[in-house]
Structure 1
């Protein structure tokens, strides 16, 4: 087996081939184009048919490369940057260069046999792109509203617009009415910001409708979970990027940061919240946990039992999130298998 490690960049890719013992067999640097990707495949044929491609896990740089390799029927795994950096630091070579990084990627595959496998994009990427674009528009609308508030304060310090809801149509209509008879540059800029806020709100509402339809198709079981509405489900589906790439529910918990971290001291065994993992996915699970802590009877009873046993509020929420990670994992698996929705309801409501 020959492993070909790739250090991907915006304009070029460097590939290094190593044998089963990690010895370097060859090296080549090509531009990041489809034609050169095909030339790289031709170059790799000299090492035989038993080959494994590996690329540093940075999709914004390697997406076209992965697509070309997978479309050609090649096997490709992704190496986390942290693992690649550890392998590079433990090598006998010094410094940092593209060939050194590509060599570290290849050797990391030899040391870690269970790395995630790359695959062609599916519905999960569409959900993620829509959700990320919506987040960008919401952030832009927030910046517009903040500037608008300062202009309104300058025009009339005695008037306080509604907090956290200035983007609503009725509140924007009120602002437009107050600005109608005002002259000057500040008033003109404020009217421009009001129109921009209306435009962004319309785009966000359209994205909400599109996400609602798409998520209902790809994750109906997940939507049945208490505390998991369209936006939270979209974040989970997009950030998970295919639940079947995780070998177990424990691996999924480690990925989303809900797996507890041991912090033992002397003879006292205890755990704390994990600060690693996908923070976007962790935040989605946290929203579900907080919602269920207020409205879901089973979650409320579970938290009461944990606190009666001596857990603090944070510790009980941490345990709840770990249980919910398993519930989300099973719901995603059920959606992947397209099983009847009637059989999912009991699965997604239990915390055991």
Structure 2
């Protein structure tokens, strides 16, 4: 009975794209069984699922880009109680040696799942944190657009005709925007002075609209972040901005992270050995989610300035000969441990909604 079940066990891999997904099936030894292409539609996802289970018991499915191109398929496979694991795209060396095609990448994903090399459980994308991520994308794009408009406004002030430039010189950015909103260009925009007034007013109006949009989204983000991670926001030095980023990094299912060490590695805060000869030291990790790493860095900087415990720790470690960079690395590792515990406690208490 066990031999028959083992004989019917297969592993699958999916190479994801915008319009199509290419799926492949291998046996437990990694030998090819079959591959096929499916459209990225609801019917296509169901057809892919039906096709997979015809080969026997699917022990695991390796999917590339589960947070983007493969998000829809990942949700369908997870709903069918199939184990889905995140597969990183092959590096350049592997592609140079083996070639590049959709079937090759799909088989590589299936072999990664079969060998156990791919073990990361993808985010569920089905709760408050996913809504938080989407709103953060909208806010980030609005901030970027406003920054661009402000830089253009300042640039036009520099090149404006002298009387207009003199009236706008020495103003703060906020005052400059207000002053440009009151400009009244003439009807004939062939005049450079009138064209400059018109352009400056249009940019100021754009900045005003974007500021209102940012304030509105920020208000909603604050409510979502507070409801999704109340224990996280309560930590010293953690604001709604840093908490929102750390929540998005962990996802709606932080239990997918095996330990606080795995979360630290995900945030790029895990120490990397950098010893040689008589030198025994560690360095900062260049990997992981860099936005989450930035969030931990900002929390560490705030604590080093305002938290008595952190200030005492910095003084003690400085006397031991550690550099400021090494001290921040240690603080980020400790903060990552605190954040992980807050995230898992919040999720276990049922605060994060999955509806």
Aligned counterpart in structure 1 of residue 68 of structure 2, from 39, 47, 60: 60
Aligned counterpart in structure 2 of residue 135 of structure 1, from 140, 147, 155: 140
Q: Distance in 1 between matches of 2:37 and 2:194?
A: 59
Q: TM-score, normalised by structure 2?
A: 0.87
1:257-296 to 2 correspondences below 5 Å? 257-296=268-307
Q: 1:335 to 1:56 in 2, by over 3 A?
A: same
Checking the alignment, whether the CA contact within 8 Å between 1:87 and 1:104 is kept in structure 2 is no
1:315 to partner: Cα distance: 1.1
Q: 1:120 to 1:199 in 2, by over 3 A?
A: closer
Aligned counterpart in structure 1 of residue 52 of structure 2, from 32, 39, 44: 44
Q: Which runs of 5+ in 2 are unaligned?
A: 1-8, 187-192
Residue of structure 1 in register with 2:324 after alignment: 313
1:174 to partner: Cα distance: 3.3
Checking the alignment, whether the CA contact within 8 Å between 2:249 and 2:292 is kept in structure 1 is yes
Q: 1:181 to 1:16 in 2, by over 3 A?
A: closer
Residue of structure 1 in register with 2:227 after alignment: 217
1:307 to partner: Cα distance: 0.6
Aligned counterpart in structure 1 of residue 345 of structure 2, from 334, 337, 344: 334
Q: Distance in 1 between matches of 2:91 and 2:152?
A: 43
Residue of structure 1 in register with 2:3 after alignment: none
Q: 1:64 to 1:9 in 2, by over 3 A?
A: same
CA deviation string 1:52-106 (max 9, x = no partner): 222013522111211222233332111122xx4489559xx73111111111111
Residue of structure 2 in register with 1:104 after alignment: 108
Q: Distance in 2 between matches of 1:28 and 1:114?
A: 22
Q: Distance in 2 between matches of 1:137 and 1:246?
A: 32
Q: Distance in 2 between matches of 1:201 and 1:186?
A: 22
Checking the alignment, whether the CA contact within 8 Å between 1:264 and 1:270 is kept in structure 2 is yes
Q: Which runs of 5+ in 1 are unaligned?
A: 341-352
Aligned counterpart in structure 2 of residue 15 of structure 1, from 3, 23, 32: 23
Secondary structure, in 3 states, of the residue corresponding to 2:68?
helix
Residue of structure 2 in register with 1:249 after alignment: 260
Aligned length: 331
Whether 1:160 and 2:165 are equivalent positions in the alignment is no
Q: TM-score, normalised by structure 1?
A: 0.88
Checking the alignment, whether the CA contact within 8 Å between 1:85 and 1:104 is kept in structure 2 is no
Q: Distance in 2 between matches of 1:114 and 1:246?
A: 14
Secondary structure, in 3 states, of the residue corresponding to 2:37?
strand
Q: Distance in 2 between matches of 1:88 and 1:273?
A: 27
Q: 1:120 to 1:208 in 2, by over 3 A?
A: closer
Cα root mean square deviation, aligned: 2.2
Q: Distance in 2 between matches of 1:202 and 1:99?
A: 48
Checking the alignment, whether the CA contact within 8 Å between 2:112 and 2:118 is kept in structure 1 is no
Aligned counterpart in structure 2 of residue 2 of structure 1, from 4, 10, 19: 10
1:261 to partner: Cα distance: 1.1
Checking the alignment, whether the CA contact within 8 Å between 1:258 and 1:321 is kept in structure 2 is yes
Q: Which moved more, 1:327-336 or 1:147-156?
A: 147-156
Checking the alignment, whether the CA contact within 8 Å between 1:77 and 1:116 is kept in structure 2 is yes
